[in-house]
Structures are given as structure tokens and as C-alpha cells.
Amino acid sequence: SAVISQKPSRDICQRGTSLTIQCQVDSQVTMMFWYRQQPGQSLTLIATANQGSEATYESGFVIDKFPISRPNLTFSTLTVSNMSPEDSSIYLCSVVQGNFISGANVLTFGAGSRLTVL
Amino acid sequence: GQQLNQSPQSMFIQEGEDVSMNCTSSSIFNTWLWYKQDPGEGPVLLIALYKAGELTSNGRLTAQFGITRKDSFLNISASIPSDVGIYFCAGPTNSNSGYALNFGKGTSLLVTP
């Protein structure tokens, strides 16, 4: 399966600042997603990162707050903008493992980027 | 996305005991997945189920895809300390992305030696 590297692995940020998280995959992948995991909670899908076009956001997430780039099939970034303490979470990059099918696909995850906003 | 109800929320057991956790959905699934998340890591796939009634094993882990297609369970036999972690069930999402996963709230497992 694909190997996913995320940077930074963790960071402490000041309220009002923005931070960009990078996701690098060791092979070309068609489908790439960004998830958020708030403390003690499950994983919530933020958006699908589309190569060469705007990301597809889920309900409750907007581009102004979470701009996403996907310049090629191996790399994506997620920016958390104008951060507040409520944005303290683990942000996870994931890709579809193998050939994707309609319905549920097996996802491979990066180790995550743990952000703490003071 | 569809609601996934996972139980129990947490378990505290002794090494050697068997563990069982389950997940129910508000709608029919064609795939059930079980993941484990260790502290400081992303979730890792344990077992994938693709057919109603399917029973699949991975070492000491066994998972079943319920006949109604609305539930699944995961069993761990003879638990060991490295089984500690959070276990998530996952299934398809009807969100804006048709190819991502929807996750349950997780079962936190603690194993004492």
C-alpha cells in the first residue's frame, strides 16, 4: 500500500494564525482525502482533494477556512486558517488503497498532524 | 453521512481475555471495514468485509458482516498488551465524496498485563 508522509507531525500555534500541512505520497494516487480528528473523537471527512481543480468540501467545512491544494497526484496541502482553540485536532491525509470502486474504499492514512491552538 | 453506532465506547480488560465490539448502521452497507489507531498514529486497516454473512479472520482478530447488512462485529481472542488502542468501524459515506469512509466513534481498548 501507499506510504504517506505528513508534515508537520505536530505544532503549537497561536490563535489567529494559519498553518499549512503537507501530505506526500510515495506513488501516484487518484483519490486523496483530508480528515479531522478532534480530541477523543472519531474521524470526520473535511474534503476530497482534487488534482487540478478545487477541492470538494463536506457539510460544515468551507474553502476559506480550510483551503486545499493538489498540484499533482502525489502531493496535497491543507491550510487551517485563522485558527482558534476549537481547531485543535489531528489532521489526517488519506488515499484510496488500490483501485477505487463505488461505495466504500479501503483508505490508507498518514500518521497525522497534531495541532494545538493556544 | 450514515450514522455508525459503535459499542462499547471503551473496554478495560485483562491480558488473555477475549474482546467483542460491534457496529450498527442506519442504512444498508455493501462494505464494512475495521481499523485500529495506536496513539500518535493514523488508523490502520485490520479487516475488510465485502459480503453479507462473511466471516473473516486476521490472526487473533475475527470480523463478521451481518446478514442484515446493517451491522458488523469484531472479536479479538486472547488479548495482549499491544492490542491497546482505539478500534473504529467504517463504511461508505453518502457525503459529497462517494469514495471516502464514514467512521464510527470508536472503541477504546485497554489491556492490563
Query: Residue A45 and residue B88: Cβ atoms within 8 Å?
Result: no
pLDDT above 70: residue B15: yes
How far apart are alpha carbons A99 and A96 in whole angstroms? 7
Least confident of A39-53, A66-80, B7-21: A39-53
Q: What is the 3-state secondary structure (H, E, C) of chain B?
A: CCCEEEECCEEEEECCCCEEEEEEECCCCCCEEEEEECCCCCCEEEEEECCCCCEEEECCEEEEECCCCCEEEEEECCCCHHHCEEEEEEEECCCCCCCCEEECCCEEEEEEC
Give the count of Cβ contacts less than 8 A between chain A and B: 81
Here the cell at position B21 is 465490539
Query: Residue B45 and residue A33: Cβ atoms within 8 Å?
Result: no
- Interface with chain A: mutation pick from B44, B46, B103, B105, highest number of A CBs within 10 Å: B103
Minimal Cα–Cα distance from A14 to chain B, Å?
A: 22
B87-107 pLDDT, tens digit each: 999 998 766 666 788 999 999
Position with higher pLDDT, A101 vs B72: B72
Confirm or reject contact between B23 and chain A (CB < 8 A).
no
A71-103 pLDDT, tens digit each: 999 999 999 999 999 999 999 999 987 665 555
Q: Which residues of B touch A55 (CB under 8 A)?
A: none
How far apart are alpha carbons A25 and B67 in whole angstroms? 37
Q: What is the 3-state secondary structure (H, E, C) of A70-105?
A: EEECCEEEEEECCCCHHHCEEEEEEEECCCCCCCCC
CA atoms within 13 Å, Cβ hemisphere of B92: 18
Residue range B21-50: mean pLDDT, rounded: 93
